[in-house]
Chains A and B, each alone.
Chain A
Amino acid sequence: MIAETGQFTLVLALIVAIVQGTLPLAGSVKNNIRLMALGSTSATSLFLCVLVSFGCLIQAFIVSDFSVFNVAQNSHTQKPLLYKISGVWGNHEGSMLLWVTILTLFGASVAAFGKNLPESLKARVLSIQGLISASFISFILFTSNPFLRLDPAPVEGQGLNPILQDPGLAFHPPFLYIGYVGFSIVFSFAVAALIEGRIDPAWARWVRPWTLAAWCSLTIGIALGSWWAYYELGWGGWWFWDPVENASLIPWLIGTALLHSAIVVEKRDALKSWTILLAILTFSMSLLGTFLVRSGILTSVHTFATDPERGVFILLLLILISGSALILYALRASLILPGGVFSPISREAALIFNNLLLTTGAAVVLLGTLYPLLLDALYGAKVSVGPPFYNATFLPIMAPVLVACVIGSMLRWKRADLAGVLGRLKVATLTALLVVLTIIWATGSGDVLVALALGVSAWIIIGTMVQVSERINLFKFPLSKSLSRARNLPRAFWGMVISHSALGILVIGITISSAWRVEFIKLMKAGDTVSAGGYTLTFAGTLPIVGPNYTGIQGQFRVERNGKEITVLLPEKRSYPAERNRTTEAGILSTISGDLYTVLGEMSENGEWSTRIYFNPMINWIWIGAILMAFGGLISLTDRRLHIRLLEKFSKEANGNAA
C-alpha cells in the first residue's frame, strides 16, 4: 500500500507540475491575475505531493518492505536506522526522488517567501520551475521508478554498499542536491527575466539569496564528500579529480562567478547579460553533472547502475532545458540594455577578471573530465586524465584569483586607484614576502612553489584583515568605538571577510598537507614502533570485532608524544556478510596541526600486518576553510538588505519603474 501511495502521489505531482508549468505562464502573457496566482498554489501542492511520495519511499525502507524492488536491492533488515534512511538516496531511483523533492521545495519556497515579487515575474519563475519539475518527475516515472514491486518478495534485502554506510555520506548527497537544484531557481529567474526582457538591480537582489543558499550548500556538500573520501576510502587523499567530483566542482566554480557578477548587477546595474548567461550555465552544468553520473558514460566510484536509456532521457532533458534557455538568451539578450560604465581599474573590472578566471577554470576541469570520453567516442582510444593535468592547468588559473581577491574587494566602483590600494596593502605584502622567505630559508630553498602558495595565503588573510581594520578605523579611534563600528558594518561585508579568509585557510591546508605529508608502509608485528609527525606509534596487535551488521578485525596502535600516551588508534577492516563486501576504516587522530592516519592492511603468512601510517600536516584546515567559506555565505545571506521588508520597498520601486 505504501508503495502504491507513493506511486500515486508522484503521478499526481506530474499533473500538478504540468499545471504549474503552463497556466501561470499563460496568465503572465495574458495578464490574467487569477491564472498567475495559480503558480503559488500549485508550487505548494506540488511540493506536498512529492514530499508524500518521498516519505512513502523512506517508510518502505524503514520497515524493510522487500516487495518493493528498490528496497530489496538496497536495504537490509540488519542495517542501523540511519543507514536504512540514507539508503533511500544511496541508489539512482531514490536519489532522483530526493533531487525532485528538493527541486519542488525550492519552488514552494519561492511561493512562500516571494510574496513581494511582481506577480508576472513570480508567475514566470514558478512556471519554469514547474516545467523543470515536470521533466524530472516524468524521468523518474518512465525510466527509474523507485516504487516498482517485486513478486515474490525476498526474505532479506541485498544491502547497501558498506562504504556508503557512513554518517558523512548520509548527509553528503542532500547538501549537494540542495546546491545543484538551488541553482535551478536562479536559472528560472534568469529565463523569466529574458522573457520579460528586463533585468535591473531589484532582480539581482531577488536572485542573490537563492544563489547564496545554493552556493553554501554546494560548498558544504563538496566538503563533506571530500572529507568522507579522506577518512573512509583509506587512501589518505581527499580529492581525486574523479569525474564525479569534477561534476560538482564545475557548477561550484561557475556558481562562485555568478555570486560575484550578481553583485555588479545589484550595485552598478552592469554585467547584466553576462550574469544571465552565468545563471543559465550554472544550472546547465548541474544538469550535465547529473547526466554524467546517471547515464553511465563515465566510470567512477560514484556512478549508479548504468543504463543507456536513462542517459538518452537525461540528454534530452539537457537539450530541452539548457538548449531552450540558451536559444532564448540568443534571441533576447540584446534587449537587455547595458548599464553603468566603468574604467579598466575598478571593482567592476576586478569582478570581471574574477569571472573570467573562474569560468576558464571551470572550462579546464570540464575539458579534463570529458576528454577521455571524447577520445573514446571519436577514436576508440582509452586515456585517463589525472592530477598532473589539473596541477598544470587548473592551479595556475586559480593562483591569480587568490592574489586578486584582496585587491578587487578594496577597489572602488567605477574608477579606482590601484597604486593607492596596493599602498594600503603594505602590511599584507610585507607579511607575504616574509612568509615566502622564511619558508625558503627553513626548507633549504627546496619548495619555492610551496613558499609562494603559503605567501599568497598570508596575503589573502592579512589583506582581508586590513580591510576590516580600515572599515572600523582600528587604532585610530578608541577600541570601543571601533567595535561598535564593526557591529554596524553590513553582514554582506562580514560574509566576504569570512569567505575570503577561509579561502586563505583552505589554501594553507591544501599546500601544507600535500607538500609535507609523511607516509610509511610497513610490515608490523605486535610491539613494533614507528614515529611520524612527532608521535610514536606502537602496534599492540589486533582484536576481532562484531558490529551490528558486520564483523571485522581491529588493529591497535598506542600513540605517544614526548613519552606520554595520548590515545589508542583503532583502524578496522570490516566484512559485511549481507553485502558480501569489505571496507577499511582508518584510525585517525585529528588535531589542528595535523592528522595521524593509520590503515590496517593484510596479514602476511608469518603473522606480520602490513600497515600504512600517514602524518597529514594541517589537513583539517581544508575542511575548516571550506566550512568557514560556506559560513561566510550564510552570514551574507542574513544581510539586512535581503530582508523581506526592504525587498518590498525595492519591488514597489521596480513596479513603479515598470509602470
Chain B
Amino acid sequence: MRNAVIIPICTLLSLVGIFGLYLWQIGTGQKSLNHLPSTLINKPAPRFNLPPINRGGKGFSTKMLRGNVSLVNIWASWCIPCRVEHPYLMKLAQDGFSIYGINYKDDPKNANTFLKVLGNPYRAVGADHSGLTSIDWGVYGYPETFIVDSNGYIRYRHVGPLSETDLSNTIQPILKRLEN
C-alpha cells in the first residue's frame, strides 16, 4: 500500500515536468500555439488568378510569386487580428520584403479604406470574393501568412496575427535564409 503512493506523486511530477517544458518552449518562442503544420509546405503554391480590390489596380496571381521570396497574407478589413498585425506587415514592407495580399470575402470599399487609413504594405492585393482561393491555400482562420520562395514553393505557414517576436524569431530569419 505504501509503495502505491508513489504512483500519484510520480504522475504529478511527470505532468508538472511536461507542462513546465511546454511552457518553457512557448516562453522562449521555440513553440507557438499558432504554429499549425500545413500539408502544403514544400509544395508549389496553388494556382489562382484574383481580380484587384480597386478598379484599375493590379490583381494577384500565382505567376507573380515567381522570382522573388514573398509573403502571402490573407486578410480582411472586418478581421480584428488583421489590424493588430498590420504594423508588422508595414515594417516588413519597409524592410524591402515583398508582400502580397489575399483579401478574403471583403467589401472592396472597406478594404481600400483599411489600406488608405492604416497604410498599404502589399505589392498587390487579390480579391477572393468566393473564398475558394483561401480554401486552396488551406486557410484555417484569419489572418494567415505564408512564405513562398522564389520558385513559387510554400516554405512556411503562420496562423493568426504576426507579433514582434514572430517577426524576429521566425519570419525574418526564414526570409533571410531563403533569399540567400
Give A contacts to B, CB under 8 Å.
Answer: 273, 277, 280-281, 284, 288, 291, 295-297, 299, 306, 308-309, 311-312, 315, 318-319, 322-323, 326-327, 329-330, 333-334, 370, 373-374, 376-378, 380, 382, 580
Contacts and interface: CB of A to CB of B under 8 A. Distances in A.
A284 B18 contact: no
Contacts of B5: 277, 326, 329-330, 333
Contact of A333 (B1, B15, B26, B31): B1
Given A323-B12, A327-B9, A329-B5, A312 B36 contact: no
A297 B12 contact: no
B15 A370 contact: yes
B33 interface: yes
Pick the most buried of B2, B9, B12, B31: most chain A CB atoms within 10 A of its CB.
Answer: B12
Contacts of A308: 23, 26-27
Given A306-B33, A333-B2, A580-B78, A377 B16 contact: no
Contact of B33 (A280, A299, A374): A299
Nearest to B17: A377
Interface in B78-113: 78, 80
Given A295-B19, A333-B5, A370-B18, 6 more contacts: A280-B8, A297-B19, A308-B27, A333-B2, A377-B25, A382-B37
Nearest to A299: B33
| A-B CB proximity, top 4 nearest | A377-B22, A308-B27, A330-B5, A311-B23
B138 interface: no
Contacts of A284: 12
B117 interface: no
Contacts of A327: 9
Given A308-B27, A370-B15, A377-B25, A330 B6 contact: yes
**A contact face: mostly helix, strand, loop, or mixed:** helix
Nearest to B25: A377
Contact of A277 (B8, B20, B23, B36): B8
Nearest to A315: B19
A311 B1 CA distance: 34
B167 to A, nearest CB: 18
B21 interface: yes
Interface residues of B, number: 25
A382 B23 contact: no
25 contacts: A280-B8, A281-B8, A291-B19, A295-B23, A297-B23, A299-B33, A308-B23, A311-B26, A312-B27, A318-B16, A319-B12, A319-B16, A323-B12, A323-B13, A323-B16, A329-B5, A330-B9, A333-B2, A334-B2, A377-B25, A377-B31, A378-B21, A382-B37, A580-B78, A580-B80
A343 to B, nearest CB: 20
A212 to B, nearest CB: 24
A545 to B, nearest CB: 20
Contacts of B21: 377-378
A402 B13 CA distance: 33
B95 to A, nearest CB: 28
B16 A380 contact: no
Nearest to A306: B33
A345 B25 CA distance: 51
A377 B27 CA distance: 13
A385 B99 CA distance: 36
B27 A315 contact: no
A374 B8 contact: no
A377 B18 CA distance: 7
Given A308-B27, A373-B22, A377-B21, A326 B1 contact: no
A382 B31 CA distance: 11
A308 B15 CA distance: 16
Contact of B18 (A280, A306, A378): A378
Contacts of A376: 22, 31
Contacts of B27: 308-309, 312
A45 B9 CA distance: 35
Nearest to B130: A605
A121 B4 CA distance: 27
Contacts of B33: 296-297, 299, 306
B26 A297 contact: yes
Given A291-B19, A297-B19, A382-B37, A326 B78 contact: no
A377 to B, nearest CB: 4
Nearest to A382: B37
B103 to A, nearest CB: 17
Contact of A382 (B1, B12, B36): B36
A306 B19 CA distance: 14
Contacts of B26: 296-297, 308, 311
- Counting chain A CB atoms within 10 Å of each CB, the highest count among B6, B13, B20 belongs to B20
A341 to B, nearest CB: 15
A348 B162 CA distance: 58
A374 B78 CA distance: 36
A315 B24 CA distance: 12
